[in-house]
């Protein structure tokens, strides 16, 4: 079996670390990584030099500036600038280095705020975005369109095959547990754990608790990413179009924030009260992805939500 040299951009993040671990478990893979001291993805010259100095067969673009509602609202310039720069530098440098295979990891926030039923891939650009994370979403949409544009212009001539996937809300080991800048699952784990060890009488949760969210364990996303990257080109092209080439990656089920709060509270073992601060934004009411195309590729989700939350909390305790 041919040895593949694979570069994982963002290997220290939650997604990148899961990808790196699973890719390394295969004997025919040589995984290439570089931390910020060796490679600044925000600098075009550094990225171009890195790609020229390394023989690479595949690129997984998992590097990104990420965060929850608070972080997106507080640092919109940082979110749009850094994500655009990372994507432009990595995708263009891959092209310059004649790397044919690249997988861009986006986010479900690319879809319009108002959606009826599960969100399909062709809903992209069909309506207004959620204002709280619009800069981040626009950057991610640009990444999708970069992959499509490079395929359209250079695909036939140079054999480029740049693909995109749109994951739902992720959680798992290696997540960011910052009390203000993290996503909902790690934020709740941190908040309830802090309340537990400090014997706080109550925990305040942003919003009403009514919105629903779909969640996916990070190892499932990593497996899906590798599956999509190595899917035969004819199968991928038959399931997508040249200007709607991304594939949703979701669990197919969603849960209210209220129910999520109850589950995490129980896992952590917090005995106090929960109060919802309705003055804070809820964000999009529902963000359930349609994963019909993913299912057609033959991929199956293996996770158990509650078990994976327990594993995530155990990983948090070991930080």
Number of domains in the chain: 1
Q: Is residue 131 part of a domain?
A: yes
pLDDT at 183: 82
The whole domain housing 129 covers 4-175+215-251+289-303
Q: Is residue 277 part of a domain?
A: no
pTM equals 0.93
Active site residues: 136
Q: Is residue 275 part of a domain?
A: no
pLDDT at 182: 78
DSSP per-residue codes, 100-142: -EEEEE--GGGS-S--SSSBPGGGTTSSPPPGGGHHHHHHHHH
Q: Is residue 57 part of a domain?
A: yes
Q: Is residue 272 part of a domain?
A: no
The enclosing domain of 130 has a CATH number of 3.40.50.720
What mean pLDDT do residues 210-230 have?
96
Q: Counting beta carbons within 10 angstroms of the beta carbon of residue 31, is it exposed (0 to 12), middle (13 to 18) or buried (19 or more)?
A: buried
pLDDT per residue as tens digits for the range 68-116: 778 888 999 999 999 999 999 999 999 999 999 999 999 999 999 888 7
Q: Is residue 179 scored above 80 in pLDDT?
A: no
Mean pLDDT estimate for the chain: 94
Q: Is residue 319 part of a domain?
A: no
Q: Is residue 191 part of a domain?
A: no
pLDDT at 21: 97
């Amino acid at each position: 079996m041919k040895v593949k040299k694979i570069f994982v951009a963002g290997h220290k993040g939650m997604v990148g670390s899961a990808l790196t671990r699973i890719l390394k478990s295969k004997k025919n893979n040589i995984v290439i990584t570089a931390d910020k001291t060796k490679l600044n993805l925000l600098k075009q010259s550094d990225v171009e030099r890195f790609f020229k100095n390394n023989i690479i067969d595949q690129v997984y673009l998992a590097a990104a500036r990420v965060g929850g509602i608070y972080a997106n609202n507080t640092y919109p310039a940082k979110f749009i600038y850094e994500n655009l720069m990372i994507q432009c530098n990595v995708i263009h440098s891959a092209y310059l280095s004649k790397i044919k295979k690249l997988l861009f990891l986006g986010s479900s926030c690319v879809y319009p705020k108002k959606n009826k039923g599960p969100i399909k891939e062709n809903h992209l650009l069909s309506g207004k975005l959620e204002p709280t994370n619009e800069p981040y979403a626009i950057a991610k949409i640009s990444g999708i369109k970069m992959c499509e544009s490079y395929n359209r212009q250079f695909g036939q001539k140079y054999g480029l095959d740049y693909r995109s996937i749109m994951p739902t809300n992720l959680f798992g080991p290696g997540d960011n547990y910052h009390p203000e800048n993290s996503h909902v699952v790690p934020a709740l784990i941190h908040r309830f754990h802090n309340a537990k060890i400090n014997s706080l009488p109550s925990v305040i949760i942003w919003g009403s608790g009514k919105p629903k969210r779909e969640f996916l364990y990070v190892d499932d996303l990593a497996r899906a990413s590798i599956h999509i990257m190595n899917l035969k080109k004819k199968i991928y092209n038959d399931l997508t179009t040249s200007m709607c080439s991304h594939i949703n990656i979701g669990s197919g089920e969603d849960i209210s924030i209220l129910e999520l709060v109850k589950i995490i509270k129980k896992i952590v073992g917090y005995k106090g009260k929960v109060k919802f601060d309705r003055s804070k934004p809820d964000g999009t009411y529902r963000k359930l992805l349609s994963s019909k195309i993913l299912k057609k590729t033959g991929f199956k989700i293996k996770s158990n939500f509650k078990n994976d939350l327990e594993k995530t909390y155990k990983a948090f305790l070991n930080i």
